[in-house]
């Protein structure tokens, strides 16, 4: 399976809350595509959701300065600290300050990954904020529109779901976007 297929599978497993599968696919991605840090990010997320908070914190710390996933890693660090039985308030405040700083100059990829993570943890409104900004910045990125469609159908508000199908169909033009195809199938 190619890199995009593995990422789509990870997104599917995140939404279904099959976190052991997230770990398995992320591990495969790390082996095959060691230069793509998104697989390390989702390995850390799967680890966190399996209840291994300290291990996940170490993994997120190790990748928090990697381009394109720095913003989502910082947001994940905050999320992980808050899941901890004894949250490190200082670390949360420090990461929060870095998120605010990075968000200002974040590029489309960083905004996309941050929005994707926020969607996975159920923060739909915040995710939409990031994705809308990403779409605006990238002149209507198909990848961003497909994610916005997913946000719209999973939050289940009627006026949004009608637009979602159009975004999935646009995502399917010029090629086979598996994430868009999966969205179209689940929308029907």
pLDDT tens by residue, 129-149: 999 999 999 987 888 888 888
Which candidate, 37, 97, 44, 96, places its Cα nearest to that of 67?
Answer: 37
DSSP letter for 72, please.
H
Q: What is the pTM of this model?
A: 0.89
Query: Please, what is the end-to-end C-alpha distance for the chain in angstroms?
Result: 26
The residue ranking higher by pLDDT, 186 or 24, is 24
Q: How confident is the model at residue 177 (pLDDT cuts 50, 70, 90)?
A: confident
Decide if pLDDT at 160 tops 70.
Answer: no
Q: How confident is the model at residue 188 (pLDDT cuts 50, 70, 90)?
A: low
Decide if pLDDT at 118 tops 80.
Answer: yes
CB atoms under 10 Å from CB of 134, counted, come to 26
- The DSSP element (H or E) to which 32 belongs, if any, is helix 19-32
The residue ranking higher by pLDDT, 187 or 164, is 164
Chain mean pLDDT for the chain: 89
Decide if pLDDT at 21 tops 90.
Answer: yes
Which pLDDT value is given to residue 164? 72
Decide if pLDDT at 184 tops 80.
Answer: no
Quick one: average pLDDT of 151-180? 71
Decide if pLDDT at 187 tops 70.
Answer: no
Give the span between the Cα atoms of 127 and 121, in whole angstroms.
Answer: 9
- The pLDDT tens digits for 95-114 are 999 999 999 999 999 999 99
Which pLDDT value is given to residue 157? 61
Which pLDDT value is given to residue 110? 96
């Amino acid at each position: 399976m190619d890199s995009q297929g593995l990422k789509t599978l990870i997104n599917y497993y995140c939404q279904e809350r099959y976190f052991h599968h997230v770990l398995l696919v992320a591990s495969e991605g790390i082996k095959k595509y060691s230069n793509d840090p998104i697989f390390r990010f989702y390995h850390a997320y799967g680890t966190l959701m399996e209840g291994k908070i300290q291990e996940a914190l170490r993994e997120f710390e190790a990748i928090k300065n990697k381009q394109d996933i720095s913003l989502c890693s910082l947001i994940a660090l905050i999320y992980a600290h808050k899941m901890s039985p004894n949250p490190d308030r200082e670390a949360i405040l420090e990461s929060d300050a870095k998120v605010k700083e990075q968000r200002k100059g974040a590029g489309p990829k960083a905004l996309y990954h941050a929005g994707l993570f926020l969607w996975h943890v159920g923060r739909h409104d915040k995710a939409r904020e990031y994705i809308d900004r990403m779409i605006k910045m990238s002149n209507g990125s198909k990848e961003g529109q497909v994610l916005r469609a997913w946000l719209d159908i999973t939050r289940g508000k009627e006026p949004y779901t009608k637009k979602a199908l159009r975004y999935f169909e646009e995502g399917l033009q010029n090629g086979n976007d598996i994430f868009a195809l999966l969205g179209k199938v689940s929308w029907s």
